[in-house]
Amino acid sequence: MKVKTISRVEQTFTQELATDRTKIHRNFDPKLHPFERPREYTRALNAVKLDKLFAKPFVGALDGHCDSVSCFGTSNKSLVQFVSGACDGEIRLWDLPRRKCVWSVYGHAGFVRGLTVAPDGNSFFSCSEDKTIKQWRMAIANEDDAPEAIQTFHGKESFMGIDHHWTNSTFATCSSVVQVWDHNRSDPIHNYSWGADSITSVKFNPAEPSLLASTGSDRAVALYDTRLAQSMRKIVMDMRNNALAWNPMEPYHFTVANEDHNLYTFDMRNLDRALMIHKDHVSAVMDIAYSPTGKEFVSGSYDRSIRIFNVRSSKSREVYHTKRMQRYGRACRWKK
């Protein structure tokens, strides 16, 4: 009878010192490891869960509104002040470090559709479905005093959005038309219309003082020059755009949040095709805001999640979601 023996060199399998590592022999034949991929997937999933568990990204909640929060406003001059508007017409000014409400007022008879802070940081504007725009002071003389609007602008239609110019005393609103207003005049100084559909958002360019862009329910993104009496360019997409944001460091780039679950970054010098398509949301993207560095932006979606994207990447690097968000995504901001 033939007996097969295995020959080994004793030096390669023995430890010279007690502290030497013991050699472990592995056979990497995939036939011997049928569950290798599922096992590695489970380990990777557990590692991601532990990483998110120890990261603790949630800092705090600002409680106090009796109805859904519909819009935010942040100041470029202060890290403390933060304003929010709700669907019942209530406006609140918050102290972010202390997470306390400084004052609140029912300033409108309908949804507060937009909030924007003036460049000096001393006042902010609100617009609503009650066809009014109101200017408010950030600070009040006494905590017992009821906040009152500095001035009120009246329009002919319900306002859907508002944005203040980065430097001068003008601001823009949107309804069925885009209107440009001045602090010292009760009537708009410019009116722009392109089609009969309503306009959902409007944003001033951070570098070019006379340029602004808007998104509408007709699936279009339009560019306007306040020095002209008409619109400049218009592109129509496959589905409706809900919000728009300019890149503060690359002012000729802007990103739109679309109903098809994606975000599209465009160069205003060439609108024939998007520079980047950002994917990961599984429902309509409702709002977008850029970071001060211009390298990242945050988006809120109807899929109850917030995602942070790099402007050069098509996939998000972070996703935040909680059970309390419900149908979240109506508004999001990156605090400067």
330 three-state secondary structure: coil
Distance CA(201)–CA(262), nearest Å, equals: 17
What's the pLDDT score for residue 4?
Answer: 64
Q: Could you tell me which residues are beta bridge partners of residue 22?
A: none
Q: Kindly report the backbone phi and psi dihedral angles of residue 324, in degrees, each rounded to the nearest multiple of 5, phi listed first.
A: -75, -15
Distance CA(41)–CA(46), nearest Å, equals: 9
Residue with tokens 């590695």: 40
Of 182, 261, 274, 177, nearest in space to 222 by CA: 177
Q: DSSP characters for 234-258?
A: EEE-SS-EEEEEE-SSSTTEEEEEE
Q: What is the pTM of this model?
A: 0.81
Kindly state the tokens that stand for 331. 């508004």
Distance CA(38)–CA(267), nearest Å, equals: 43
Distance CA(235)–CA(272), nearest Å, equals: 8
Rounded-to-5 percentages of helix, strand, coil across the chain: 10, 40, 50
* Burial readout 19-31 (b: 16 or more C-beta within 10 A, e: otherwise): eeeeeeeeeeeee
What's the pLDDT score for residue 141?
Answer: 64
Question: Per-residue confidence of the chain (336 residues) as pLDDT tens digits?
Answer: 666 666 777 777 777 888 888 777 788 888 888 888 999 999 999 998 888 878 778 788 888 888 888 888 888 888 888 899 998 899 999 998 888 998 899 988 888 999 999 998 889 999 999 899 999 988 876 776 778 889 999 988 899 999 999 989 899 999 888 999 999 888 898 888 877 678 889 999 998 888 999 998 888 899 998 888 777 888 888 899 999 999 999 989 999 999 999 999 999 888 888 999 999 899 899 999 999 999 999 998 888 888 999 999 999 988 888 766 665 556 777 766
* Burial readout 45-66 (b: 16 or more C-beta within 10 A, e: otherwise): eeeeeeeeeeeeeeeeeeeebe
Residue with tokens 């409702």: 286
Residue with tokens 């005093």: 145
What length does the chain have? 336
CATH architecture of 69-136+148-325: 7 Propeller (2.130)
Residue 243 makes CB contacts below 8 A (sequence gap 6+) with 200, 201, 215, 256, 257, 285, 286, 287, 288
Distance CA(215)–CA(200), nearest Å, equals: 6
What's the pLDDT score for residue 298?
Answer: 93
Helix (H) or strand (E) holding 45: helix 36-55
User: What ranges do the domains of the chain cover?
Assistant: 69-136+148-325
CA distances from residue 237 to 215, 219, 240 in whole angstroms, order as listed: 11, 5, 7
Kindly state the tokens that stand for 104. 């609140």
Radius of gyration of the chain (CA): 27
